[in-house]
Amino acid sequence: MMSRRHYGGRNLARAVSFADLRRMAQRRLPRFVFEYLEGGAEQEVTLRRNRAVFDDIQLIPRTLVPLDRIDLSTTLLGSPVPLPVAAAPTGFSGLLWRHGDVALARACARMGVPFIQSTVSNARIEDVAAVPGLRHWFQLYVFRSEDFLERLLARAEAAGCEALVLTVDSSIFGNREWDKRNYRSGTDPTLANKIEVLRHPRWLASVPAKGVPSFGNLLEFLPENRRKMVHAANWARDAIDTGLDWDRVGWLRKRWTRPLLIKGLLCADDVAMALAQGADGVVLSNHGGRQLDGAVSPMSVLPAIAEAFAGRLTILVDSGFRRGTDVLKALALGADGVLLGRTLLYGLAAGGEAGAGRAFDILFEETRRAAALSGCRTRSEIVADRLVVPARGDPAY
């Protein structure tokens, strides 16, 4: 019987899919770090659904279409991109690779796509802004302190961030049970995990040996004795504004004069509220299955929201994207673009900036190939007529 296995060595050129990069990342990272990257909330129903939904959307290819030139370039927020994708905001990237946020930003700059820096990234806004040629967006978690928000927004403006991405689905932290099981209490790993770390010398040499990174954007607000990552993470959870509402969004809209996107919406009524508050776009997202277990997949609500709001809002989508065909399906259902989270982090964890670049290369190649095999030569030809989509109410949809 033939045995199949994904590549798990160190040669990035041999990675032909995100599954290979995932396996490479899994071998390099300690178990508890990989669990943080990989896991979801509670029983991980939403995490699995985010992938299953793509399996039930079928492509209808057109043939005998000249395919000598495939050009999927378009614009996001008015500026050109070679493919309508961007790096989703992710925290703790510095645990995956030393200076991981800057490495990801450099890979994005090379590909010409936006990088959305997280409030809880390990790098400072200014460090990421220094990456040459980068389209720099900033993701905001809303903390109770208005002074904190004012200073953070001022820094983002001064750094030239072209858009603000307000995350609204994380005022309450998701119940990530599998992640919790790796710790004795709080953020102290179990003895078994501490011993297991010794099996990952490459990670040890590149991250902990040089000092576990903290949250660069929070340091100026933290007491001297609470600046280590463990203490900073606890401070951030305690300081988050659990009373975030549409009035606060209106305040932010008045304060931030550049494009504003609201991330974490799944309900059409909330999208309508975002439009009413003056948002320029939305990100349909269930936070990669890490918040509310049992939540609907963004792909399931995308068609109706795109039909209702196309042309009035930029509509982005994330959660579960692992293939170029996934991107193609989202664009056909009306998304203006796709945000990539774990797909890029697998590459980052496997090989730093070069690994993230390899992830982009795989995605670009897969998406262009899928478009060509579907008979789509340009972004405008990727339309819903090229799909068979499950009826509403189907368990997988």
**pLDDT value of position 349:** 98
* pLDDT tens figures, 294-319: 999 999 999 999 999 999 999 999 99
Structure tokens at 54: 């793509």
Is 287 designated active site? yes
Q: How many Å apart are CA 256 and CA 263, to the nearest integer?
A: 16
Q: Of 330, 269, 262, 309, give the one whose Cα is nearest residue 50.
A: 330
Measured CA to CA, the distance from residue 319 to residue 49 in angstroms comes to 10
What mean pLDDT do residues 4-11 have?
Answer: 95
Determine the pLDDT at residue 395: 46
Taking residues 322-340, report their average pLDDT: 97
Judged by DSSP in three states, 361 sits in helix
Q: Count CA within 13 A, CB hemisphere, residue 172.
A: 6
pLDDT tens column, 117-165: 999 999 999 999 999 999 999 999 999 888 889 999 999 999 999 999 9
DSSP E strands, 216-280: 260-265
Mean of the per-residue pLDDT values of the chain: 93
pLDDT of amino acid 396 = 47
Q: Would the annotation count 291 as a binding residue?
A: no
What is the helix (H) or strand (E) element at residue 187, kind and residue range?
none
Q: Which two tokens stand for residue 152?
A: 């953070």
Q: What is the pLDDT of residues 171-197, one digit of tens each?
A: 898 999 999 998 887 677 899 999 999
Is residue 171 marked as binding? no
Q: Is 63 annotated as a binding residue?
A: no
- Name all domains of the chain by residue range, CATH numbers in brackets: 16-177+237-388 (3.20.20.70)
Q: Give the pLDDT confidence score for residue 325 in this predicted structure.
A: 97
Rg of the Cα trace of the chain? 20
Query: Does the pLDDT of residue 347 top 80, yes or no?
Result: yes
Please say if the pLDDT value at position 9 is more than 70.
yes
Catalytic residue among 99, 136, 200, 287: 287
Cα torsion angle, 294, 243, 342, 318, sign: positive
99 carries a ligand binding annotation: no
Q: Do 18 and 348 touch, CB atoms closer than 8 A?
A: no
Q: Report, as an integer, the average pLDDT of 248-265.
A: 96
